[in-house]
Structures are given as C-alpha cells and as structure tokens.
Amino acid sequence: MNPVIVALDISLLKALDLVKMLREKVAGFKIGWELIFEGGISIVSEISRYGNVIVDLKVADVPHIANRVINKVIEKGACCAIVHGFLYPSLPRGENIYVLAKMTAPTLYDEVWERIIENVGEIRGFVLPGNQPEFISRARKILGCKYRIISPGIGAQGGQPGNALRAGADFEIVGRYVVENPDRVAEWTGLRPACFNTP
C-alpha cells in the first residue's frame, strides 16, 4: 500500500474503474461534490467497499450544522470529512474531522494557518499543501505526531511525489497525475507515512 489518497474528481464510471484498479495499491480515495452530484450520497458507501473514503465537501458552517453534515457521511461509511479551517475557533471537532489549514493556491490562510493548527483541539488532522513542503515541515515540528497531515498539490499543481511525505505528511492526495496514468502510483513505492498508518 502506497501512502497515496486518490482524488476522484472524475465521472462515476471512471471512478469505479479506477477504484477497482487501485484498491490494493493506495491508502484511500477522496470524494468531492462532483462525484456526489453524479452518484448521490450512496456513492460514499459504494466506494467505501474498496478502501478508506475521505469526503471532501469543504464544510464551512456553524458547528451544530457542520457536525450533522459530517455525521451523515460517516454513517455512509466514510472514515472522515474535511472542514474549512477559517471556522476556527468555532470549528466542529471530532476524530473524523480533517481541518483545511493552508491551501495549495494563495489564500488568506497564508496569514493565519499557524494560529489555526496551534490550538485546534480534538480533531483527526490537517490538510496542508503538498506543493509547499517547507510548510509541512514547520507544521510537523509544531504538531509532533498528535495529528495526521494529508497533502494535496502533487503532480499537476507542482509538488513532487514523495516530497510532502519526506517533510512530515502522512499521505499525499493526488488527482490528475494518477487519474491520467494510474501506473504512476508506483512512484510512491517504499515511501511511508510520517506518523499514522491509516488516513
């Protein structure tokens, strides 16, 4: 199993083919709005049969509403869900929640991401940019192994496969680079998560 989570930003049929092809080779799959619009919420259960599923709706609402949305996708079989870190300090908390703290593209997070990660409380981990591994190293120093770090931005957005892992990430999230050529998962052979073995 390679420390890669495949972002399924593709059509339903293509996603199901890819999931069957890669189920033994990757740590999990990320499902977003596109696939849920096409397949309905039951697509979370369907893909969970083949591996760990992270649901990425980038939830951004008051905690009681955000928690209800997250509970619904967890009930369907997802391991976890992603919320926007700008909700801090009014974040939903829980072992299924990843907090997006800094993005692969420039945003206001660049000015506040350290404040978000420093005092976050009980959550599963953070999404931090894999195309900026220097920030992942900084985050890992601050966090120790208390939280997972998962990192998009590899391949199409400039990150080199493996660099985020070597800087302290547990999993790299990869979309187009692997979707265009699934054999590329072999580029992660021999690489290991920094702290956690499951996404």
Interface pick for ligand O7E out of 2, 52, 96, 104 (rule CB under 6 A): 104
| Subset of residues 117 to 146 that bind ligand O7E, contact rule: CB under 6 A | 127, 129
The four Cα atoms 31, 156, 58, 189 give a dihedral, to 10 degrees, of 60
Residue 30, annotated ligand binder? yes
Residue 76, annotated ligand binder? no
Distance (Å, rounded) from C-alpha 169 to C-alpha 47?
24
Q: Is 146 a catalytic residue?
A: no
Q: Is 110 a catalytic residue?
A: no
User: Is-contact 182 22, C-beta < 8 A?
Assistant: yes
Closest CB to ligand O7E among 3 and 155?
A: 155
The four Cα atoms 159, 163, 164, 170 give a dihedral, to 10 degrees, of 130
Interface pick for ligand O7E out of 4, 7, 101, 139 (rule CB under 6 A): 7
Task: Dig out the tokens for 54 from the structure.
Answer: 């992270």
User: Is-contact 192 6, C-beta < 8 A?
Assistant: no
- Which of the following is catalytic: 14, 20, 58, 146? 58
Let me know the angle formed at the C-alpha of 90 by 97 and 174, rounded to the nearest 5 degrees. Answer: 35
- Could you tell me which of 119, 49, 112, 57 has the C-alpha nearest to residue 91? 119
Closest residue to ligand O7E: CB criterion: 175
The four Cα atoms 75, 76, 77, 79 give a dihedral, to 10 degrees, of -70
Applying CB under 6 A, what is the total number of residues that bind ligand O7E?
Answer: 20
Of 35-43, 88-96, 134-142, 147-155: span binding ligand O7E (CB under 6 A): 147-155
CB of 106 to ligand O7E, least distance (A): 10
70 binds ligand O7E (CB under 6 A): no
34 binds ligand O7E (CB under 6 A): no
165 binds ligand O7E (CB under 6 A): no
The distance from CA 2 to its chain's CA centroid, rounded to whole angstroms, is 15
Q: Is 56 a catalytic residue?
A: yes
The number of residues in the chain equals: 199
Known catalytic residues? 56, 58, 61
Q: Which residues bind ligand O7E (CB under 6 A)?
A: 7, 9, 32, 56, 82, 100, 103-104, 127, 129, 152-153, 155-157, 173-177
